[in-house]
Every structure is written in C-alpha cells, then in structure tokens.
Chain A
Amino acid sequence: MSVIRALYTSIALLIPFGVHAQTFPNKPVQIIVPYAPGGSTDLAARVLAAKLTEQWGQQVVVENRPGGNGFIGMSAGAKSKPDGYALTLGTVGDVAVNPALFPNTPFSMERDFTPISMVSDAELVLIAGKNTPYASVQDVLNAAKAQPGRLSVATSGMGTMPHILLEWMSLVSGAQFQHVPYKGGGPAAAAVAGDNLPLGILAASGVASFVKSGHVKVIAIMSPERSKNNPSWPTLIESGVKDVGGSGWSALFAPRGTPPEVVAKISADVGKALKADDVIARFSGAGMEAVPTTPTELATRIKKDRESFAAIIKSANVKPE
C-alpha cells in the first residue's frame, strides 16, 4: 500500500512540474519587499507589480516586510514555498553588502535564493553645499587630505551603497572623511542643502530638486560610467579615483528550488514588463532605470559586487557596532 501511495505521490508531484510554466500563474503572485512603503524599492515593486498584473491577468501583490536591515523580508522570502508565487525584491544592500557586513545573516543567497532578473538601477552622486568651495573631486580630496577626518559626508545610512562607496573612495584615494549617516536619503539631502554639513553621497533623484534650486552642486556621479541623462557629471574613475564606482540596484529573486521553467518564464515576463514604455517612464520619474537581465547575468553581478564590497568592508574595518 505504502509503496503504491509513494508512487502516486511522486507522480502527483512530477506532473505539475511539466505544466507549471504553461499555466503559471493561475493564482495571485506576491512580491515581498523588505522595506517600508514609499521608498524607491517599494515604488519599483509597485510599478512592476501593476504591469505584471496586466500581463498575467492575475493579481500581483506587493507585501512590505520591513525591518532589521532587510533581514525580516529577506528571511520571509527565503522561507516561502518555491513555486514562483512568492518572489522577493532585494537591493544591492540586501544581497551584496549585508552578507559581507554582518557575521551571520539569517539567510544565504546561495542556499536560499534563485536569481530571476535585475529590476531597477539608481544613480548616486557626490554633492556639495552651494557655499562650499568645492567644484571638483580633486578639490574635495585635497580638502580631506589637508584635514584628515574633518570633512563630513552625509549618506542615507550605515551600510548603504553610498556608505560603501564613501569607504571605497577613502581607501583608494587615501583621503579620510567623517561619515554622518542619516535615516534615509531625504533628510540627508536636506542637511546638505541646509548647510548643516558640506558633502553628501546620495541618490541623484533625491537631490535633483536641490540641484535645480541651486542649494547643492553635483561634484561627481558615483557610477563607473557617465550618466545618459546628465553627461556633464564626471565619474570618480576619470577624476583619478581608480575603480571606484557603483549604483543602487534592485533585483527579483525566487526561493531556491523553484522549477527552472517557472524562473525562466518569470524572467522573460519581467523583462517584457521592464521594457514597456509606461514602466520606463515611471521608473525614470522616480530616478531609476529599468534594467532587465537574465538570471545568469544577475548571478554574475551579485558575485562581482559582493567580492569587491567584502574587500572594502574588510579593509575599511566597517562594523555595525
């Protein structure tokens, strides 16, 4: 009896695998966001979810699980059923910085997640207040070298991409800065605009209005290449700070063990959604670029970023304590 039952069970388990990709999705799909509503990751998730709902004819729902440096949401995503109905939108901070920053994260990218596609990418910039004498990366570095550790730089928080880039810039250039973390990019941008401190590394979208109003000036873009939208901003690399470059990206993941056909289908459909004109327009409004990739491309990017960030975090001795 038990043998027959086992046989039945295995057949029952096998059948859906074949038809999964054709029928997926046949019920609502959830996207877990490890951040509170309102941030750029949440916005990206909501824009993508609305488009996928349209494409699939099934509700795609965003579920915010904020807290604990993204650990709560990432853990929830890792523990979800691997059937493609519970996806997780993690950021570069969640998947490439935190594993290097925290000695024991409650999830493991290799053990728990399968990459699907990159989703959004946001440019970061180095800004200075309008009353500061700095006009170029060299000015900033010279000032910092003249008074080591006496030049304050605002970032959106401890262990965020801007923080990592600040440490990286310090390591490569030898200039030392005072890192002043804020609770998010908005307050940090206002602090630089209000002359509370001279410098900031922040999302380009968050400082755009202060740049326009003349409260702050952009010194450099933190990406490895110049921006398509603002080609006049120099990169750090061309200003002589070798190799330093990065941006704030987010990507979609499924729990490890999700059938490969389903992952491939989601990746293809997400790619299609991210190429839609209205999605591109909404992303760009929020200061992001839609950047679909294949699962393999995403895996490579994670590996590359993680290795370089781990080295920076180790050399700069960044510790959450």
Chain B
Amino acid sequence: METLSLLLYGLQIALSWENLLYCFAGCLLGTLVGVLPGIGPVTTVAILLPFTFGLGPAPALIMLAGIYYGAQYGGSTTAILVNIPGESSSVVTTIDGYQMARQGRAGPALGIAAIGSFVAGSFAVFVVAYFSPPLAEIALRFGPADYFSLMVMGLAASVILASGSLIKAIAMVLVGILLGSIGTDVNTGAIRFAAGLPQLTDGIGFIVLAMAFFGITDVLVNLEKSKEQHVANAEIKNVLPTMEDLRVSAPSIARGTLIGSILGILPGGGALLASFAAYMVEKKVARRPANFGSGDIRGVAAPESANNAGAQVSFIPMLTLGLPSNPTMALMIGALMIQGITPGPGVITERPELFWGLIASMWIGNLMLLVLNLPLVGLWVKLLSVPYSLLFPAILAFCCVGVYASSNEPADVYIVAVLAAVGYALIKFDCEPAPMVLGFVLGPMMEENLRRAMMISFGDPSVFVTRPISALCLAATLLGLIAIAIPSLRRRRDAAMQE
C-alpha cells in the first residue's frame, strides 16, 4: 500500500510538464539513434551530458533513461528489418524476427515487439518499485563463483538455440568464446591474441561482431539469391499483428516478461541471458505446431519482452549498487554523480523524488514508445519494399558508418570486413551465428569470474558446489548434459527441433 502511494507520488513528479517533455525527448532521441546506425545511445548520452548540468537530477535521469530504453526499441527494429542487432540482447530477435520480415510479416513482428516490450516494461516497473531493496541485496550477494556457474548454465543451454546440428552449435559457442578471449586479460593485464594490433587490445567490440556476422554476412547471402526471391519476400501481408498473432503471443510475452524481470537484476549479462533464456523456454514449452527459426511470432514476442523487462530491472543494480549493466548506464551514473548524487543503497530513501519519479517516468516512457512506434511500423515496412539493389548498398554503408562512429576507430571497419568473410564461410557450412554471440559475450565473463573465484578461495574449487546458487546452476547444467548425452532423450530433442 505504501509502495502504491509512493508510485503515485512518482507519477506526480513524472507527469510535470518539464519531466514529460524530457521523457518524450529522451524516448524520441533513443528511438532515432537506435534505428539509425552511426550514432548509438552511448554517444548520444555523452553529447547530452553537459546539457543535463543545468537540469535537476530527476529530469536529467528521466531523459537519459528514455534514450536508453528508446534505443532498445530502435535496436529491435533494425534486428527485424535488416538482421542487424543493435545490442547483444536483440541478437535472438534476429532469428525469427528477420525471418518474419522476409516472409512479408515485418509489420506483425515489429508490432508484437512493441506490444511485448510495453507489457514487459509495465510489469518491470512494479518489480522495481516493490522489490528494489531485497533484489539489490541478492545481486550484492552474487559472488564470482555464482556468476561463473550461471554462465556455464547459459552456455550449455545455448546449444538448444541452434536449429541444426548439435556439434555445430557447440563448435560455434567455442568459436565465440575464443573470439571473446581476444584482448586484455582482466586478471593479469596480459594482451592476448591481438596480433600486435593496438586496436585489438580491448578485444572485438560487440557492434563490430554484430555488423559483420549479421548485417554484412546477410547481405552477402542475399545477393546470391535470384531477383525473383526478393520480390516474393517483399510482399506485405498485414501491417499490424492480427488478433490471432496476439492470442498466440500472449503467453510468450508473459513468460518472457517474468524471465527478464528475474535475470535483469544481474549486472552485466542480465538482459542478454534473459532474451536467450526466454527464447529457449519458448522452444521447450511450445505445444502448438512450432516453426522456430523460420519466422515464429513467439520467437520475437518472448525475447523482446524479456530484454525490455531486463533492461528496466537493470536499473536496480545501477541505482542501488552503482553497478552499470552497460556503457549507457555507466554514463547515467556519471550524470548523477555530477549532480552530487552517488548511486548506492541509500538512494531510494534519500532521493525519493528521483527514484520514484524515474520509475513512474519509465512507465510513461514505455507508453510513449508504443504510441510512437506503432504508427512507424507502416513506414518501416514500406522501407522493405525498396528494391534490394538499392537497399543493400545503404545497409553496407550504414554498417561501416555505425562501426566507425561507435569507436572513432577506422581499424574497426577493416575488422568487420575480415569477420564478415568468416561469417559468410560459416553460413555456407550451416553454422549459425547466434550461439557464437552468446559464447562471445558470456565466455570472457565466465573466465574472469572463474579465475576470480579461484583467487578468492586460494585455489579451492569447492566454492562452486558449496555456494547454493552456484551449486544449483551446476546441477541444472549437469542434468541438461545428461539429457543430451542419453540417446533416447537426444532423439526427443531432435524431434523437438523438427517441429
């Protein structure tokens, strides 16, 4: 009851003309930079930072948060339309979303992404409002051993993602882990596999990887196909999701929202793990004839709901522990600190107007995004009817601009070119990029936490089984592996894949 009245108090703050304006500005800017490559949310927030000096902490944070979750919406748009995930958490969306777009169902895909995100965002607002202090305490208790075991579970489960061969899926996860190990080792400072290139000392950026393995590789694959196929692809069936689409997606949205709300609490891989986990769960529970991997709307609804819920819940570790989940959030912490507010356990009680105002504004922002994005769907879909001979040079150019602008580093564009060649070869061998991305993002975190856990325990590996969270994750992984290893169960897995 008290929380409800505090939420109402937050709503009063968020509904002031000033805050509404900044919320809208943030959402609009975020959508724009999310859709347009070349300038990402980090750059936008960095440029706007001096502008927030003159604002109060609440409007400043409301606007910056709007840019952050607005960009998430925008990132899903490019994932669905042109197979370019703007963030690691929209990688899964490309699997079915892009297939839907190719079947002329880009509209329903975009629509369900927007609706799912809105539902998830609204639910996550309540999670943040009601459970921030206890959840922050849980996140704080999460030690390196627990992180390691969770990553192991995530990676082991990721092979389910692949619709093809199990061996190839495992191989791709391993390739991802190897690619992720390029760069400076956190524990020793040693530079690994950088081939003497200073540009590789911080590893390959996610944007670089995404542009290469998704955007450009896909253009190459498409160019091989005959012209007729493209024309057929561009045939638009309907612009908005039908009632049937909504009915099929509703349970998926609910499950995705729940998973995102739980995993989003973990700083770092939270939103990514959430979107992958949501997708895997959908594949497992689908009873109706499913065609995951070739344009199933549930394969868009669930991960999109999960990553949006995760993105909102990740404000808990950011505000109450000062732990950013990504560079955009790191900048928000900076913006708060310049205003004299240090994120930490006391921030909810000391700055209620900031905390509750932000929470309420996130809900309003999600509503604005829905209103803003649904009419845009028609526009985006029309974009797809542009002849591919005109579209693909634009995609290539945007990829290069986007890569360069995200780091100011010309060498990154060359790295994209090299990786795109690799990505093309992998597609030719029927190796899917999604499990690789999971390995790429989670692998380095897994290694970092494994070694840290071992350092803290002075080389005693029993921490992995004596800590309850860690033990639980490892047990689940083991069970899963046994299930795969036993041939009879394995046949069932294959059967599940065939559906």
A190 to B345, CA, bound (A): 11
Given contacts A186-B324, A196-B456, A212-B346, are A72 and B46 in contact (CB under 8 A)?
A: no
B344 touches A196 (CB 8 A): no
Whether B331 is near chain A, meaning CB under 8 Å from some CB there, is: yes
State whether A67 touches B42 (Cβ < 8 A): no
Is the pair B337, A285 in contact by a Cβ cutoff of 8 Å?
Answer: yes
Contact code string A279-321 (vs B, CB < 8 Å = 1, else 0): 0011011110000000000000000000000000000000011
A285 to B341, CA, bound (A): 7
Q: Digitize B315-326: 1 where CB-to-A-CB distance is under 8 Å, 0 elsewhere.
A: 000000111100
Partner among A39, A206, A282 whose Cβ is within 8 Å of the Cβ of B322: A206
Contact B458 A69 (CB under 8 A): no
Contact with B along A56-91 (1 / 0, CB 8 A): 000000111111110110010000000000000000
Give chain B nearest CB distance to A177 CB in angstroms: 11
Complex Cα distance A193/B333, Å? 18
CB of B165 closer than 8 Å to a CB of A: no
For window 174-193 of chain A, which residues contact chain B by CB distance below 8 Å? 178, 180-183, 186-187, 189-191, 193
| Per-residue interface assignment for chain B, residues 40 to 52, with 1 indicating a CB less than 8 Å from any chain A CB and 0 otherwise | 0011011001100
Q: CA–CA, A64 to B409, complex, Å?
A: 10
Q: Please report the C-alpha to C-alpha distance between residue A180 and residue B142 in the assembled complex, in whole angstroms.
A: 16
Q: Is the CB of B327 within 8 A of A38?
A: yes
Q: Closest approach, in angstroms, between the C-beta of B353 and any C-beta of chain A?
A: 17
A285 touches B456 (CB 8 A): no
Of the candidate stretches B197-205, B236-244, B427-435, the one touching chain A is B197-205
Tell me how far the C-beta of B456 lies from the nearest C-beta in chain A, rounded to whole angstroms. 5
Q: Which of A3-11, A13-21, A41-49, A239-247 lies at the interface?
A: A41-49
Q: How far is the CB of B210 from chain A (nearest CB, A)?
A: 18
Whole-angstrom distance between the Cβ of B364 and the nearest chain A Cβ: 26
Enumerate chain B residues within 8 angstroms of A200, measured Cβ to Cβ: none
Q: Flag whether A36 is at the interface (Cβ < 8 A).
A: yes
A275 within 8 A of B: no
Q: Footprint of A on B, CB under 8 Å?
A: 42-43, 45-46, 49-50, 53, 139-144, 184, 186-191, 198-199, 201-202, 267, 321-324, 327, 330-331, 333-334, 337-347, 407-409, 448, 452, 455-456, 458
Q: Is the CB of B201 within 8 A of A42?
A: no
Q: Given that A208-B342, A282-B53 are known contacts, is A182 also in contact with B455, CB under 8 Å in the complex?
A: no
**Is A46 in contact with B46, judged by CB distance below 8 angstroms?**
yes
19 A-B pairs with C-beta separation under 8 A = A37-B43, A37-B331, A37-B334, A38-B324, A43-B338, A46-B49, A47-B338, A53-B50, A63-B408, A65-B409, A69-B189, A72-B202, A75-B198, A186-B321, A194-B140, A194-B143, A212-B344, A212-B346, A213-B345
- Give the CA-CA distance A220 to B15 in the complex, in Å: 45
In the assembled complex, the Cα of A37 lies from the Cα of B337 at a distance in Å of 14
Of A53, A62, A150, A209, which is within 8 A of B344 by CB?
A209
State how many angstroms separate the Cβ of A213 from the closest Cβ of chain B: 4
**Nearest B residue (CB) for A196:** B143
B-contacting 9-mer, from A138-146, A152-160, A165-173, A227-235 = A152-160
Q: Are B342 and A320 in contact (CB under 8 A)?
A: no
Complex CA gap A141/B140 in Å reads 27
What 18 new A-B contacts, CB under 8 Å, besides A64-B408, A72-B409? A36-B327, A38-B324, A47-B53, A47-B338, A65-B408, A67-B198, A68-B201, A106-B198, A150-B458, A178-B456, A187-B323, A194-B140, A284-B340, A285-B337, A286-B337, A286-B338, A287-B337, A321-B190
Is B184 a contact of A68 with CB atoms below 8 Å?
yes
Residues of chain A within 8 A (CB-CB) of B321 are: 186, 190, 193
Inter-chain contact A67/B190, CB cutoff 8 Å: no
Q: Assess whether A205 is interfacial by the CB under 8 Å rule.
A: yes
Q: Are A182 and B186 in contact (CB under 8 A)?
A: yes
Contacts of A281 in B (CB 8 A): 340
**Bound-complex Cα distance A194 to B140 (A):** 5
Is A268 among interface residues, defined by CB-CB distance under 8 A?
no
* Bound-complex Cα distance A306 to B139 (A): 39
Q: How distant is the Cα of A10 from the Cα of B45 in the complex, in angstroms?
A: 45
Please judge, given known A-B contacts A75-B198, A106-B198, A196-B456, whether A215 and B345 are in contact too, CB under 8 Å: yes
Chain A min CB distance to B126 (Å): 24
Question: Which residue numbers of A lie inside 8 Å of B, CB to CB?
Answer: 36-40, 42-43, 46-47, 49-50, 53, 62-69, 71-72, 75, 101, 106, 150, 152, 157-159, 178, 180-183, 186-187, 189-191, 193-197, 205-206, 208-210, 212-213, 215, 278, 281-282, 284-287, 320-321
Complex formed: what's the CA distance from A42 to B344 in Å?
A: 21
Q: Which of B53, B142, B346, B407 contacts A194 (CB 8 A)?
A: B142
With A36-B330, A37-B327, A215-B345 known to touch, is A186 a contact of B455 (CB < 8 Å)?
Answer: no
- Are A158 and B140 in contact, CB atoms less than 8 angstroms apart? no
> Chain A contacts of B141 at CB under 8 A?
194-195
Query: Which residue on A lies nearest to B187, using beta carbons?
Result: A181
Taking each of A53, A63, A64, which has the highest tally of chain B beta carbons within 10 Å of its own beta carbon?
A: A64
Min distance, Cβ A72 to any Cβ of chain B, angstroms: 6
Cα separation A50 to B49 with both chains bound (whole Å): 10
Asked if B50 and A152 make an inter-chain contact with CB atoms under 8 angstroms apart, the answer reads: no
A180 vs B53: C-alpha distance when bound (angstroms): 36
CA distance A38 to B327 in the complex (A): 7
**Inter-chain contacts of A68 with B (CB < 8 A):** 184, 191, 198-199, 201-202
B338 contacts which chain A residues (CB < 8 A)?
Answer: 43, 47, 282, 285-286
B381 CB, nearest partner CB in chain A, Å: 34
**Chain B residues positioned under 8 Å from A285 (CB to CB):** 337-341
- Kindly state the separation between the CA atoms of A176 and B377 in the bound complex, as whole angstroms: 62
Write the nearest CB–CB distance from A179 to chain B, whole angstroms: 8
Nearest 3 A/B pairs, CB to CB: A209-B344, A38-B330, A68-B201
Bound: A270/B199 CA distance, A:
31
Q: B53 contacts A320, CB within 8 Å?
A: no
Inter-chain contact B331/A209, CB cutoff 8 Å: no
Determine whether the beta carbon of A213 is less than 8 Å from that of B346.
yes
**Is B140 touching A209 in the complex (CB atoms < 8 A)?**
no
**How far, in angstroms, from A63 to B190 measured CA to CA in the complex?**
26
Indicate if the CB atoms of B187 and A158 lie closer than 8 Å: yes
When the two chains form their complex, are residues B50 and A209 in contact, meaning their CB atoms are under 8 A apart?
no
A89 to chain B minimum Cβ distance, whole angstroms, is 14
A69 to B458, CA, bound (A): 27
In the bound complex, residues from chain B placing their C-beta under 8 Å from that of A189 are 322
CA distance A101 to B202 in the complex (A): 17
Which residues from B are CB-within-8-Å of A206? 322
Could you tell me the distance between the alpha carbons of A292 and B330 in the complex, rounded to whole angstroms?
27
